[in-house]
Structure 1
Amino acid sequence: MTFTEIADRVWVARHEWFDVNVTLVGGERGLLVVDTHASELAARAVIDDVRRLGVALGGQSVVGAVNTHEHFDHTFGNGAFRAAYGDIPIHAHEVAVARTVSAGERIKGLYDAEPDDPHADEVQATEIVPADHPFSSAVALDLGDRMVELVHPGRGHTGGDLVVRVPDVDVLLAGDLVEESMARNGVPGFGEDCYPMDWPLSLDIVLSLSTSSTVVVPGHGAPVDREFVEEQRNAIGIVAETIRDLATRGVPVAEALAAAEWPYPREELAAAVRRGYEQLPRSQKRLPLV
């Protein structure tokens, strides 16, 4: 069994592919799965572990799922969980719901260009099943003897990020708003759909939902504490303010990476800088200096 209990009836399974986490939250009514892995095939292996855990718990079953955002490594197992457990509700932020199919098709295109990747066939074979229970700001899910809160703190890693709060045990599942994984040397995922100027403020809200004792489960890597989240928030804040400073001084976007010191390797920040320049209002940008 790959699931490890990190708090009362909260189990995390950390998978080698992408170092991604799948989490289970147990309640009187059953199990809630948070993120469903990166392919139908990978999800079936997760489901085998879930079933073994369910048997150990006296026959509990999955009664719902949550996608912390729209990326394929968190959503491509949705169909497998539906096949295994019936028409369970799948919850996600409304932006993530709207973007899951297009984000998944984009990834399939990238894998199509890399046919030698060992996971290419299973990604291509996966049916994209978006969540069907969208929400806007926050929603509470009733597992019988405990409530689980889904909160959209704002944009960051994507436009559809959410965090999952299990208040009775002070656990917060942060999705890819927080990343610890050494597979990326601890660098957050500044991808082509990130919002670097919003991300620090979104993490401020995440921090407001936590305490000094909160266990935070990142989307990738080992569980962390509030101090880790504070440090990552500050580093992302430096990225945002450096982008703002460069744009305000009229440094062209093509020269921005080389024009400043950054808290993360430059090669990890190309999309963040480009996206940041795009997201700044015109009033905060000067014409490039000549």
Structure 2
Amino acid sequence: MTAHTHSHTGEGFREVADRVWVARYAWFDVNVTLVGGALGLLVVDTHGSGAAAREVLHDVRRLGAGEVVGVVNTHWHFDHTFGNATFREAYGEVPVHAHENARDELERWGERLKQRVRDHEGEDPHRDEVLATEIVLPDQTFSSARVVDLGDRAVELVHPGRGHTSGDLVLRVPDADVLLAGDLVEESAPPSMNDDAWPMDWPLTLDVVLGLTTPATVVVPGHGLPVDRDFVETQRGELGIVAETIRDLAGRGIPVEEAVQAADWPWERERLETAVRRGYEQLPRSQKRLPLV
């Protein structure tokens, strides 16, 4: 595997707050974050394959800030979890933390995702490395909140609700006023809503996330540059418009297949096909006017 296949967007890890480093990788434009403490480093998200994670590992070692003592997966998607095995190979049986739903979803859908990659022969330059990846499930799960002790620093893991998936978590580093938001916040593109997203819940989930911030908080999204609380408030507003528009369309009896074209949206329509379908599915019957047969 040649090094240039995984070109960096930046150059390895950059410190965004006291002993919090972020590296941004070109494949998926994904962020990997390190939180340092007296006991060692916590790696937050592990990239999209064993091979991709080996590049992350190289950057961790080049930084020279200590040994990895734990891993956190912000949600189950493969660009955030498929490097877990690589970190276990390098540092032994380090704990892998995640929300309980994220663990279950990775178990349910991880191999299915590899099968989808297998079926699309020859399209993806990363195909072989994804197929060669061993999926390692998180072994430290929780339902609402957990604290990880790094010695001189406590890191809070919080499940603020459903949004990008049903198992999103955010990490708060209180002494540095940093919040790692996973894909509940995205800077490089509008938030992505796949078949496992919860568009009707997402705005309320971001309200909980905003409650964990101050005006000075550095917020690290799953993809793109670090942002501030104002950015998160703006994105929460846009997600709120999406949810309210879906509720309005369904309430007026607009069929789901016409809904995307029937309204104005904060983002391009093609980004919203799945979100609208998911939103319609998630609305209680009482909020939909069913077309008369």
Q: What TM-score does the superposition give when structure 1 sets the normalisation length? A: 0.95
Is 2:34 the counterpart of 1:65?
Answer: no
Larger displacement relative to structure 2 (225-234 or 45-54): 45-54
Q: 1:236, 1:179 → 2: CA distance?
A: 12
**How many Å apart are 1:112 and its aligned residue?**
1.8
**How many Å apart are 1:100 and its aligned residue?**
0.6
Partner letter of residue 87 of structure 1? Answer: E
Q: Secondary structure at the match of 2:205?
A: helix
Aligned twin of 1:163: 170
Alignment counterpart, residue 265 of structure 2, candidates 235, 245, 262 = 262
Alignment counterpart, residue 41 of structure 1, candidates 51, 62, 65 = 51
Larger displacement relative to structure 2 (102-111 or 126-135): 102-111
**How many Å apart are 1:114 and its aligned residue?**
2.6
**How many Å apart are 1:113 and its aligned residue?**
3.0
Q: 1:243 to 1:289 in 2, by over 3 A?
A: farther
Aligned-pair identity in percent equals 70
Aligned twin of 2:5: none
Q: Secondary structure at the match of 1:47?
A: helix
Aligned twin of 1:250: 253
Q: 1:123, 1:110 → 2: CA distance?
A: 11
Alignment counterpart, residue 30 of structure 1, candidates 27, 30, 40 = 40
Q: What TM-score does the superposition give when structure 2 sets the normalisation length? A: 0.94
**How many Å apart are 1:258 and its aligned residue?**
0.9
Is 2:82 the counterpart of 1:81?
Answer: no
Is 2:226 the counterpart of 1:192?
Answer: no
Spell out, residue by residue over 1:25-74, the C-alpha distance to the aligned partner (whole angstroms, 9 max, x if none): 000000000000000000011111111223xx3xx200000000000000
Alignment counterpart, residue 140 of structure 1, candidates 135, 138, 147 = 147
Partner letter of residue 3 of structure 1? Answer: F
Spell out, residue by residue over 1:52-106, the C-alpha distance to the aligned partner (whole angstroms, 9 max, x if none): 223xx3xx20000000000000000000000000000000000001111222223
What residue ranges of structure 2 are gaps of 5+ in the alignment?
A: 1-10
Cα contact 1:158–1:193 (8 A) shared by 2: yes
Q: Secondary structure at the match of 2:69?
A: strand
What residue ranges of structure 1 are gaps of 5+ in the alignment?
A: none
**How many Å apart are 1:111 and its aligned residue?**
1.5
Aligned twin of 2:6: none
Q: Secondary structure at the match of 2:184?
A: strand
Aligned twin of 2:114: 108
Superposed CA RMSD: 1.0
Cα contact 1:141–1:149 (8 A) shared by 2: yes
Aligned twin of 2:8: none
Q: Secondary structure at the match of 1:21?
A: strand
Cα contact 1:251–1:289 (8 A) shared by 2: no
Cα contact 1:72–1:103 (8 A) shared by 2: no
Aligned residues: 282
**How many Å apart are 1:289 and its aligned residue?**
5.8
Alignment counterpart, residue 125 of structure 1, candidates 105, 112, 132 = 132
